[in-house]
């Protein structure tokens, strides 16, 4: 493959405004995107198999699916697409980035809410706008997949999380199926993951 094509300056500026990434970060991620796609302008799910650090993440499939979820691409649908553009890739990737104190309070609140919306969609696998107990158990199962006695532990964690959410939002939600707004309000008072800003239960590098 020849030299890597670069993005025009106007496109980089637009992407920086919509995703929060710096121009330098966008150029680096664009080169990485082309490396993963072997120079193609669109990416399919199997391209993510070229990211070794992602293999050890217990919810790899959910992370990958998130990049192809129409709800994350502004399509207003819970269906998935077969391929994504670099803009699609960058938009979804922006949900994972850490927001530092250089941003305004309003921006930080906006990005936090966007992350929570994104996290909710990862849990809400059937796209009905609610998280069922079964959906919560599934993701806890995946997170604990490499531990002993995972099934019993995940069931207890899921039940406890639902009970706490119901107690906090009593009168506003049904314990078995927390609706989107109530779940997000509940999560706003909690760290996304203990000790980290990561939505994916761990960090991984896109660069080789």
* Domains of the chain by start residue, with CATH: 11-96 (1.10.238.10), 105-188 (1.10.238.10)
Q: What are the distances in angstroms from CA 63 to CA 14, 57, 101, 119, 203? A: 25, 9, 26, 10, 12
Each residue of 122-150: pLDDT tens digit?
A: 888 888 888 887 888 888 788 777 655 54
**Tokens at 49, concatenated:** 């198999």
- In whole angstroms, what is the distance from residue 197 CA to residue 191 CA? 8
The model's pTM? 0.69
φ, ψ for residue 177 (rounded to 5)?
A: -140, 80
DSSP labels for 136-158? HHHHHHHHTTTSTTHHHHHHHHH
Each residue of 60-92: pLDDT tens digit?
A: 888 999 999 998 988 777 688 999 999 999 999
Residue 35 makes CB contacts below 8 A (sequence gap 6+) with: 50, 208
State mean pLDDT over 3-31.
91
- In whole angstroms, what is the distance from residue 122 CA to residue 129 CA? 11
């Amino acid at each position: 493959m020849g030299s890597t094509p670069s993005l025009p300056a106007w496109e980089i500026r637009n992407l920086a405004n919509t995703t929060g990434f710096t121009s330098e970060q966008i150029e680096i991620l664009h080169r990485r995107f082309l490396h993963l796609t072997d120079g193609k302008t669109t990416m399919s799910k199997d391209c993510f198999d070229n990211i070794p650090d992602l293999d050890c993440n217990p919810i790899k499939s959910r992370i990958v699916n998130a990049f192809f979820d129409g709800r994350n691409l502004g399509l207003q649908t819970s269906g998935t697409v077969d391929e994504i553009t670099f803009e699609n890739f960058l938009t979804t990737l922006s949900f994972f980035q850490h927001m530092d104190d250089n941003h305004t309070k309003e921006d930080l609140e906006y990005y936090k809410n966007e992350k929570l919306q994104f996290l909710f969609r990862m849990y809400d696998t059937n796209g009905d706008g609610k998280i069922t107990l079964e959906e919560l158990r599934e993701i806890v199962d995946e997170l604990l997949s490499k531990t002993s006695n995972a099934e019993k532990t995940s069931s207890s964690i899921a039940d406890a999380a639902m009970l706490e959410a119901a107690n906090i939002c009593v009168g506003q939600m049904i314990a078995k199926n927390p609706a989107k707004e109530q779940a997000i309000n509940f999560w706003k008072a909690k760290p996304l993951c203990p000790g980290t800003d990561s939505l994916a239960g761990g960090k991984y590098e896109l660069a080789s």
